Structure 1
Amino acid sequence: MKDQSNFIKTIMEEDLKSGKHDTIITRFPPEPNGFLHIGHARAIIINFELAKVFGGYTNLRFDDTNPETEDEMYVKAIKRDVEWLGYTPHGIYFASNYFDEMFERAVLLIKKGLAYVDDQTAEEIQKTRGDILTPGIESPYRNRSVEENLKLFYEMRDGKYKEGEKVLRAKIDMASPNMNMRDPVLYRISFAVHHNTKDKYKIYPMYDFAHPIEDAIEGITHSLCSLEFEDHRPLYDWVVRETEMPKVPRQIEFGRLGLKNTVMSKRFLKQLVTENLVDGWDDPRLPTIGGLRRKGYTKEAIRSFILATGLSKVNSEVEVDMLEAFVRDDLQAKAKRAFAVINPLKVTITNYPEDKIEYVDVPYHPDFDYGSRKIAFGRNIYIEKEDFSEVKPDNKYKRLSLGNEVRLFHTYFIKAYDVIKDENGEIIEVLATYDPETKSGSGFNSRKPDGTIHFVEASQAIKAQFNFYGPLLVGDDSKDLIERFNRDSLHIKYGFVENALKDVQLYDKFQFVRNGYFNTDHSKEDLLVFNETVALKSSYK
Structure 2
Amino acid sequence: MTDTDRPEPPPHFIRTRIRKDVETEVVQQVVTRFPPEPNGYLHIGHAKSIALNFAMAEEFGGRTHLRFDDTNPMKEEQRYVDAIRDDVGWLGYEWARECYASDYFEQLYAWALHLIDQGLAYVDSQDADAIREQRGTLTEPGRESPYRDRPPAESRDLFERMRAGEFPDGAHVLRAKIDMAAPNINLRDPVLYRIRHQHHARTGDAWCIYPSYDFAHGQSDAIEGITHSLCTLEFEDHRPLYDWLIEHLPVPARPRQIEFARLNLDFTVLSKRRLSRLVDEGHVDGWDDPRMPTLAGIRRRGFTPASIRNFCTEIGVTKSESVIPFGALERNLRDDLNVRAPRRLAVLNPLKVILTNFPDDETEWLELPNHPQNPDMGTREVPLSRELWIEAGDFMIDAPKKFFRLKPGGEVRLRGAFIVRCDEVVKDDSGNVVALHCSFDPDTRSGQPGADRKVKGTIHWLSAEHAVRAEVRLYDRLFSVPHPAADKDRDFVEHLNPDSLQVVSDARIEPGVEAMAPGTHMQFERTGYFVVDRDSTPDAPVLNRAATLRDTWSKIEKQLR
TM-score class normalised by the smaller sequence: over 0.9
Q: Could you say which residue in structure 2 is the equivalent of 1:119?
A: 125
Give the one of 224, 233, 240 matched to 2:230: 224
Q: Does 1:348 align with 2:354?
A: yes
CA RMSD of aligned residues (A): 1.7
What TM-score, normalized by structure 2, do the two folds share? 0.93
Closer, same or farther in 2 for the Cα pair 1:103/1:443, shift >3 Å?
Answer: farther
Q: Partners of 1:261 and 1:347 in 2: how far apart?
A: 40
Q: Could you say which residue in structure 2 is the equivalent of 1:293?
A: 299
Q: Partners of 1:320 and 1:290 in 2: how far apart?
A: 17
- Structure 1 residue 313, shift from structure 2 partner: 1.5
After superposition, what is the alpha-carbon deviation per residue over 1:108-148, rounded to whole angstroms, capped at 9, x for unaligned? 00101111111111111000101112111111111111111
Q: Partners of 1:240 and 1:209 in 2: how far apart?
A: 10
* 8 A Cα contact 1:2 1:53, kept in partner: no
- Structure 1 residue 441, shift from structure 2 partner: 3.7
Q: Does 1:504 align with 2:516?
A: yes
* 8 A Cα contact 1:462 1:527, kept in partner: no
Give the one of 371, 387, 404 matched to 2:378: 371
Deviates more, 1:380-389 or 1:11-20: 11-20
Give the one of 400, 417, 420 matched to 1:393: 400
Q: Partners of 1:392 and 1:441 in 2: how far apart?
A: 32
Give the one of 194, 214, 217 matched to 2:220: 214
Q: Partners of 1:524 and 1:343 in 2: how far apart?
A: 21
State the AA in 1 paired with 2:229: S
Q: Partners of 1:450 and 1:362 in 2: how far apart?
A: 21
Q: Identical aligned pairs, as a percentage?
A: 47
Q: Could you say which residue in structure 2 is the equivalent of 1:492?
A: 503
Deviates more, 1:35-44 or 1:363-372: 363-372
Q: Could you say which residue in structure 1 is the equivalent of 2:51?
A: 45
- Structure 1 residue 483, shift from structure 2 partner: 2.4
Q: Could you say which residue in structure 2 is the equivalent of 1:530?
A: 543
SS in 2 for 1:376: strand
Give the one of 177, 183, 189 matched to 1:183: 189
* 8 A Cα contact 2:9 2:313, kept in partner: no
Q: Partners of 1:327 and 1:461 in 2: how far apart?
A: 28
Q: Partners of 1:283 and 1:446 in 2: how far apart?
A: 47
Matches within 5 A, 1:100-119: 100-119=106-125
* 8 A Cα contact 1:341 1:496, kept in partner: yes
Q: Could you say which residue in structure 2 is the equivalent of 1:453?
A: 459
SS in 1 for 2:515: coil
Q: Partners of 2:429 and 2:246 in 1: how far apart?
A: 80
Deviates more, 1:139-148 or 1:428-437: 428-437
Give the one of 295, 306, 309 matched to 1:303: 309
Deviates more, 1:127-136 or 1:418-427: 418-427
Closer, same or farther in 2 for the Cα pair 1:163/1:418, shift >3 Å?
Answer: same
Q: Partners of 1:332 and 1:37 in 2: how far apart?
A: 25
SS in 1 for 2:470: strand
SS in 2 for 1:401: coil
* 8 A Cα contact 1:227 1:314, kept in partner: no
Closer, same or farther in 2 for the Cα pair 1:59/1:425, shift >3 Å?
Answer: same
* 8 A Cα contact 2:187 2:241, kept in partner: yes
Runs of 5+ consecutive residues of structure 2 not aligned to the other structure: 1-6, 556-561
State the AA in 1 paired with 2:52: I
* 8 A Cα contact 2:31 2:64, kept in partner: yes
SS in 2 for 1:290: helix
* 8 A Cα contact 2:445 2:451, kept in partner: no
Deviates more, 1:471-480 or 1:328-337: 471-480
After superposition, what is the alpha-carbon deviation per residue over 1:162-203, rounded to whole angstroms, capped at 9, x for unaligned? 111111111111111110000000000112221211221101
Q: Partners of 1:483 and 1:123 in 2: how far apart?
A: 32
After superposition, what is the alpha-carbon deviation per residue over 1:478-515, rounded to whole angstroms, capped at 9, x for unaligned? 31122222343211113101113231111111111111
Moved over 4 A (4+): 538-541
Closer, same or farther in 2 for the Cα pair 1:135/1:298, shift >3 Å?
Answer: same
Q: Partners of 1:474 and 1:436 in 2: how far apart?
A: 49
- Structure 1 residue 67, shift from structure 2 partner: 0.7
- Structure 1 residue 449, shift from structure 2 partner: 2.8
State the AA in 1 paired with 2:386: R
Give the one of 321, 326, 329 matched to 1:323: 329
SS in 2 for 1:220: coil
State the AA in 1 paired with 2:516: V
- Structure 1 residue 527, shift from structure 2 partner: 2.3
Q: Could you say which residue in structure 2 is the equivalent of 1:384?
A: 391
Closer, same or farther in 2 for the Cα pair 1:345/1:247, shift >3 Å?
Answer: same
Q: Partners of 1:458 and 1:195 in 2: how far apart?
A: 55
- Structure 1 residue 456, shift from structure 2 partner: 0.7
- Structure 1 residue 450, shift from structure 2 partner: 4.2
Closer, same or farther in 2 for the Cα pair 1:405/1:245, shift >3 Å?
Answer: same
Q: Partners of 1:257 and 1:219 in 2: how far apart?
A: 27
* 8 A Cα contact 1:259 1:319, kept in partner: yes
After superposition, what is the alpha-carbon deviation per residue over 1:191-217, rounded to whole angstroms, capped at 9, x for unaligned? 222121122110100000000000000
Q: Partners of 1:2 and 1:429 in 2: how far apart?
A: 54
Closer, same or farther in 2 for the Cα pair 1:437/1:164, shift >3 Å?
Answer: same
State the AA in 1 paired with 2:502: H
Q: Could you say which residue in structure 2 is the equivalent of 1:15?
A: 21
